[in-house]
Amino acid sequence: MDPAYSVIIFTSSSGAGYGLLIWLALARLTGAWEIGPVAAVVACLVALALVTTGLLSSTFHLGHPERAWRAMTQWRSSWLSREGVFAVLVYPAALVFTAGWIWDAVSPALMMAAALATLVLSLITVYCTSMIYASLKTIPRWSNGFVPPVYLIFALASGGLLFAVLLGAAGAADMSAMVLLLVVLLAAWLIKWYYWRFIDEQKVESDPGTATGLGHLGKVTQLEAPHTSENYLLKEMGFQVARRHATKLRRYALLLGMVVPAVLLIVAGNLAGAAQIATLIAALLIGLGGVIVERWLFFAEARHLVTLFYGRTV
């Protein structure tokens, strides 16, 4: 599949934003971390900015952005529509939650309800995003049980790196907090590792023989293509990344997304003040780089059944 920047930005930016909202809601609900109200409001606004950037980016790739509101209407059958509905529902909850940190008009009970609603609706939205991909039977590397957990835990892991910076700024980035975020980060990449192993060994039932129904006549190969230059189908769904390049990029993703941030989190746990914040910002930026490489691979390595008609295998 074509790794379009719009979808890579959409899934990684909104994922990190929802992840940060989830951590903030957890902070409020459990009271586990001491965060000042002003820092919390700034973090909430950063999260909403990331979510909004992602959603706007996904509307950029529409042919008719002015009709985007119509995408809310078919929630009964379409995961994309459900994603749109829940993405909109998050806003009122998250705005009340944001205001509640500093605005007395939001009662403690309402604030708790808003935190809980933000937590649950954010999780549902990320799940809906994952199901847009996981529901496509035409793309076996997406249509499997790994995709929803990967999307959910990557939202938590990348949002966690943002949350770590907030904790650093609030002076609450102690070793136990760092270890918790580290565990989530490692779990995310462990699941991703199993996902990569799964797609490398995946056996797909369909081949050019079943696509054309000519399999009973022997091995089916394309003798002559129907068109002389690339068409929409091949540009959108025929993108191919060389195996050796993919292997190399997976290593970069692991290095940037997991190894470096993991080390930096532990280092930051032993630091304080400006040095700690600088270390956590470095962990965030490098970690997000790893997530973007991972997301690029998610699209670039996905193969679509339509390419069978062009004599390829999936």
Partner 1 sequence: MTMLPKTTKKKLGLVTDLDICVGCHACAVNCKEWNTGGHSAPLTDLNAYGKDPNGVWFNRVHVYETDDGENTRTVNFPRSCLHCETPDCVTVCPTGASYKREEDGIVLVDAEKCIGCKLCSWACPYGAREYDEDDGIMKKCTLCIDRIYNENIPEAEREPACVITCPARARHFGDLGDPESDISKLVEKRGGFALMPETGYQPVNRYLPPRPRKVDVGDTGAPAQLEPAEEAKSSSAFFNWLDKALSR
Contacts with partner 1 by CB under 8 A lie at: 1, 61-65, 67-68, 70-74, 76-81, 84, 132, 135-139, 205-206, 208, 210-214, 216-233, 236-237, 304-306, 308-311
Q: Tell me how far, at minimum, the Cβ of 200 lies from partner 1, in Å.
A: 22
Least distance in angstroms from the C-beta of 256 to partner 1: 28
Q: How far is the CB of 231 from partner 1 (least distance, A)?
A: 6
Alpha carbon distance 287, 254 (integer Å): 9
Q: Which residue has 């400006």 as its token pair?
A: 274
Give the C-alpha separation, 136 to 299, whole Å.
13
Of the pair 98, 130, the CB lying nearest partner 1 is at: 130
Pairwise CA distance, residues 72 & 40, whole Å: 31
Q: Which is nearer to partner 1, 112 or 135 (CB)?
A: 135
The 3-state secondary structure of 138-195 reads CCCCCCCCCHHHHHHHHHHHHHHHHHHHHHHHCCCCCHHHHHHHHHHHHHHHHHHHHH
Cβ–Cβ < 8 Å for 293, 281: no
Torsions phi, psi for 105 (to 5 deg) = -60, -20
In angstroms, what is the minimal distance from the CB of 298 to partner 1?
A: 14
Tell me whether residue 30 or residue 229 sits nearer to partner 1 (CB atom). Answer: 229
Q: Which is nearer to partner 1, 43 or 128 (CB)?
A: 128
Encoded tokens for 257: 């997304």
| Nearer residue to partner 1 within complex by CB, 70 or 248 | 70
CA distance 299 to 295: 7
CB of 87 to partner 1, least distance (A): 12
Q: Choose between 63 and 273: whose C-beta lies nearer to partner 1.
A: 63
Residue type, 280: L
CB of 77 to partner 1, least distance (A): 4
